[in-house]
C-alpha cells in the first residue's frame, strides 16, 4: 500500500453496470488501497455510492458524485466539487464507456452519436476541466480506458461505432500527452482485451435469453470469450485496475503517450 499516497484521484465511471466488479469499481478500490483519496463518479448515483461505500468500509477515503460525463455542466460541477473537498486533482481515470453492436449498414445515426458522446466527448470534457487544475499544480496523470477494439476487428464481429470511438480515445490520448508534457501532465491509455465484467455477463445474458437451453447458451458465450485469449481465460477488472495504478503512480513518471494493451495476448496470437 502507498503507491498513490497523498494523491487525489477522480475515477469517472467508478460504478459497475451490474452486480460484480467492473473496471472502474476495481480501479477506484485499488487506488484507495494504495493511499489515494478517491472521488467516485458515475451516471448512476447508487453505483457511485456503492463503490465509495466499499472504500470507506476498508478504511479508505472516498466520496460519491453523480454526473453524466458527456455533459459539460456536470463535468464542471464534478471538478468544482473535488476542488472544494480536497483542493487538488492528481489523477483522472476516464473509465466510462458503452458497448454497441452493428456495422455501418445496421447502425443507426442516433446510436453513432450516443456512442461518441459517451465514449469520446466524455474524455474531452473531463480533460477540458481537469487540465487547468493540473497545469496550476505543475503535475498530473490522466489514464484513459480505451479497448483493443481500437486496433482489432475480428472477422464476423461488427461494432463499428465502438471501434471508431476507442480509436478516437487513442488519438485524443496521444494529442494530450504531447501537448501537455512540458506542463508536467502525463496522459496514457489502457487497451483492455476481453475482461469478465458485469458488462460481459449482461451481453451473455442478452444472447442466452432467447435460446432454448439458456444455461448452455450462456456458458457457450463465456467459453468463446475465454478461448479468444491464448491464456484460455478472460481478464478481470483487477487487471485493468493494476495497469491504471502503474500509469497513475509516480513509477510511470517517464511514461507518457503510451497505449498499454492488457489482453493476455489476444492481439499477438
Ligand atoms: P461497466 O458498464 O460495468 O462500467 C461502466 C460504468 O460507467 C457504469 O457504472 C456506468 O453507469 C458508467 N457510465 C456510463 N455512461 C456514463 C456517463 N455518461 N457518465 C458517467 N458514468 C457513466 O463497464 P466495464 O466493462 O467495467 O467497462 C469500463 C470501461 O472499460 C469502458 O470504457 C469499456 O469500453 C472498457 N472496456 C471494457 C472491456 C470489457 O471486456 N469489459 C474491454 C475493453 C474495454
Contact present, 234 and 23 (Cβ < 8 Å)? no
Residue 45 host element (H or E): helix 45-57
pLDDT of residue 235 exceeding 90, the answer is: yes
Domain layout of the chain by residue ranges: 8-194+236-268
Q: Which whole-number Å values give the CA distances from 76 to 65, 79, 122, in the listed order? A: 12, 5, 12
**% of the chain surpassing 90 pLDDT:** 89
Ligand 1 shell residues, CB under 6 Å:
13, 15-17, 22-24, 42-44, 47, 67-70, 95-98, 118, 122, 145, 147, 192, 194-195, 197-200, 237
Pocket test for ligand 1, best of 11, 22, 67, 94 (most atoms within 8 A of CB): 22
Atom 4, ligand 1: residue with shortest CA distance? 16
| Ligand 1 atom with least separation from CA of 68 | 19
Residue 114, SS3 per DSSP:
helix
Average pLDDT in the 190-194 region? 97
Contact present, 30 and 111 (Cβ < 8 Å)? no
pLDDT of residue 107 exceeding 90, the answer is: yes
pLDDT of residue 203: 80
pLDDT of residue 187 exceeding 90, the answer is: yes
pLDDT bracket for residue 157 (50, 70, 90): confident
What is the set of active-site residues? 162
Cell, residue 129: 476541466
Cell, residue 131: 487540465
The CATH architecture to which 8-194+236-268 belongs is 3-Layer(aba) Sandwich (3.40)
Residue 141 host element (H or E): strand 140-145
pLDDT of residue 17 exceeding 90, the answer is: no
pLDDT of residue 206: 83
Cell, residue 39: 472521488
Tell me the pTM.
0.97
pLDDT of residue 78 exceeding 90, the answer is: yes
pLDDT tens-digit map of 196-225: 998 888 888 888 998 999 999 999 989 999
Amino acid at each position: 500500500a502507498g503507491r498513490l499516497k497523498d494523491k487525489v484521484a477522480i475515477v469517472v465511471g467508478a460504478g459497475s453496470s451490474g452486480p460484480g466488479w467492473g473496471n472502474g469499481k476495481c480501479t477506484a478500490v485499488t487506488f484507495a488501497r494504495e493511499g489515494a483519496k478517491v472521488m467516485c463518479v458515475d451516471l448512476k448515483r447508487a453505483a457511485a455510492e456503492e463503490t465509495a461505500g466499499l472504500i470507506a468500509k476498508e478504511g479508505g477515503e472516498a466520496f460519491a458524485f453523480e454526473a453524466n460525463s458527456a455533459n459539460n455542466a456536470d463535468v464542471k460541477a464534478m471538478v468544482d466539487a473535488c476542488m472544494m473537498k480536497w483542493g487538488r486533482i492528481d489523477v483522472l481515470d476516464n473509465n466510462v464507456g458503452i458497448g454497441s453492436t452493428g456495422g455501418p449498414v445496421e447502425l443507426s445515426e442516433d446510436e453513432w452519436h450516443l456512442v461518441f458522446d459517451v465514449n469520446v466527448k466524455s474524455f474531452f470534457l473531463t480533460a477540458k476541466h481537469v487540465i487547468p487544475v493540473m497545469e496550476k499544480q505543475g503535475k498530473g496523470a490522466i489514464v484513459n480506458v480505451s479497448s483493443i477494439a481500437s486496433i482489432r476487428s475480428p472477422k464476423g464481429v461488427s461494432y463499428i461505432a465502438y471501434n471508431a470511438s476507442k480509436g478516437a480515445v487513442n488519438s485524443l490520448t496521444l494529442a494530450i500527452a504531447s501537448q501537455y508534457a512540458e506542463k508536467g501532465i502525463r496522459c496514457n491509455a489502457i487497451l483492455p482485451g476481453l475482461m469478465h465484467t458485469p458488462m460481459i455477463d449482461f451481453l451473455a445474458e442478452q444472447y442466452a435469453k432467447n435460446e432454448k437451453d439458456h444455461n448452455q447458451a450462456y456458458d457457450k458465450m463465456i467459453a468463446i470469450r475465454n478461448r479468444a485469449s491464448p491464456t484460455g481465460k478472460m481478464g478481470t477488472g483487477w487487471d485493468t485496475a493494476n495497469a491504471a495504478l502503474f500509469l497513475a503512480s509516480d513509477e510511470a513518471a517517464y511514461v507518457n503517450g503510451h497505449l498499454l494493451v492488457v489482453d493476455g495476448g489476444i492481439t499477438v496470437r
